[in-house]
Amino acid sequence: MRLWFIIAVLVLGGGFAIFRLASYNPQGHHELVDLAGIATWEPTTEQIRSQIQATEPLQKQKKQYTELFRSRYRRQNMAVNLRVDTDGVFYLECAATIPTWDKALIAGQAWQEVKELFGGEPQVLIYESYIGIPSRRVGIARSNGKQPSALEIVFDTGWHLRRKPQANDFLITVRQGG
């Protein structure tokens, strides 16, 4: 009798679990931010240009830019961070829950703005951030080799399968120094 009761509970519990799995709606639990109007989010590029103090050294201007860039996404409740090192390389950190195509849009916007505000051929390293462990590098936004004025975004999601991780794969030194 007890065995039949255990079997009945398992069958009913399994049926309920299958029903919940079949009716699961991922969009109902996690709302993704629509990046369609990303160019109009404040502060806009023009607002950033007016807020950056041109009398400051270039490195300080770039740090001001990163703070304003970060505030744009924090207003949209997106976990996005931008840092710059002393060599002028920008480090974009996005939460791992942000889809890759959105990371590409954000990195593209950062690259375009850095190019427009500071000139040169910017380099934006793209990192995925996790809670409790260092961020890991997943891509890069850079000038296209054949056409330097064009943007090229390359994601390398299989880096850990092809080689031993390197120190610059994880965003540790920039956090301490910048």
User: What is the rounded average pLDDT of the residues 25-33?
Assistant: 59
Q: Where are the domains of the chain?
A: 31-177
d(C-alpha 7, C-alpha 19), whole Å: 18
Q: Which pLDDT score, from 0 to 100, does residue 104 have?
A: 94
152-171: string of b/e by CB count within 10 Å (b at 16+)? ebebeeeeeeeeeeeeebbb
pLDDT digits (tens, 9 = 90+) for 131-149: 888 888 899 999 988 887 8
Question: Could you tell me which residue, 15 or 102, shows the higher pLDDT?
Answer: 102
Q: How far is CA 53 from CA 16, 60, 64, 112, in A?
A: 61, 9, 8, 19
Helix (H, G, I), strand (E, B) or coil at 138: strand
pLDDT digit string, tens, across residues 87-130: 999 999 999 989 999 999 999 999 999 999 999 889 999 999 88
